[in-house]
Amino acid sequence: MLSGKRHLFKLDPARPIAEGQLEQLCTSGTHGIIVGGTDGITYENTKFLYERLRRYDKPIYQEISHADAILSGFDGYLIPLVLNAGNPQWIFQVHQQAIKQFGNMIDWSKCQVEGYIILNERSKVASITEAKTSLSYEDILAYARLADQMLKLPYIYIEYSGRYGDPLLLRKLKHAIRNASLIYGGGINSEAKAREMSRYAETIIVGNVIYENFELALATICDDFIC
């Protein structure tokens, strides 16, 4: 689903965005849009955002956080599995319950699992999943190998949501991972940060800055990413 050097914007259905801004994002040279968030995600706000996005010729993916907000029609579905969740609910229980409820309607050929490692202890997603964020490089590399070599997940997502992460960690991960594709998200709000993390991660995700400083969000797309 996501391969090669990729830049994606992540839009939160629970946060308002102007029509003109959506158009600028979708015609910016980004490779696609992920629709997802942590709080206040509903079927209705997801559908509203999806309907506005589908007018543009960009792949749109839904990152699933609430089973009752799953909408058909997306180009692909990303299913987070939080490897360092302190609350086991976020490792397999929410997935098992969602499959129990909707299992016969799921098109698995469009679904891919992201092995999430959440590292910003102040983020909302860290508090909801009770993520164990005080980890050494060795701990994080072991989670990554578990996802890559033991579970054979297609993606490992290093999530610093709201804060710029540690490039040295990304460099170590790049060398340790054999098959999975590395995704990085967190605090990218400039071309320099986008370039730095994309040296190590195949895919970089830009979220919060869209809502905080729109011009800076657009500036994260550098020549390396132009389609």
- Least CB distance to ligand 1GP at residue 209 (A): 6
104 versus 180: smaller Cβ distance to ligand 1GP = 180
In the 8-state DSSP scheme, what is residue 64?
A: P
Closest-approach residue to ligand 1GP (CB): 185
* Angle at which helices 43-53 and 19-26 cross, to 10°: 60
Helix (H) or strand (E) holding 192: helix 191-198
According to CB under 6 A, which one of 30, 46, 161, 203 is a site residue for ligand 1GP?
A: 161
Helix (H) or strand (E) holding 160: none
122 versus 152: smaller Cβ distance to ligand 1GP = 122
Query: Amino acid letter at 200?
Result: Y
Token pair recorded at residue 124: 């909302």
Residue 115 touches ligand 1GP, criterion: CB under 6 A: no
- Least CB distance to ligand 1GP at residue 163 (A): 7
24 versus 149: smaller Cβ distance to ligand 1GP = 24
- Cα–Cα distance, 85 to 132 (Å, whole number): 6
According to CB under 6 A, which one of 79, 177, 188, 197 is a site residue for ligand 1GP?
A: 188
SS3 category, 183: strand
**How distant is the alpha carbon of residue 146 from its chain centre?**
19
Q: Which of residues 5-44 bind ligand 1GP (CB under 6 A)?
A: 10
Question: Could you tell me if 95 and 137 are in contact, meaning their C-beta atoms sit under 8 angstroms apart?
Answer: no
- Least CB distance to ligand 1GP at residue 199 (A): 17
* Closest of 51, 63, 72, 57 to residue 25, by C-alpha: 57
Q: Which of residues 141-160 bind ligand 1GP (CB under 6 A)?
A: 159
According to CB under 6 A, which one of 200, 207, 218, 221 is a site residue for ligand 1GP?
A: 207
Token pair recorded at residue 98: 């969602």
Contacts with ligand 1GP by CB under 6 A lie at 10, 159, 161-162, 185-188, 205-209
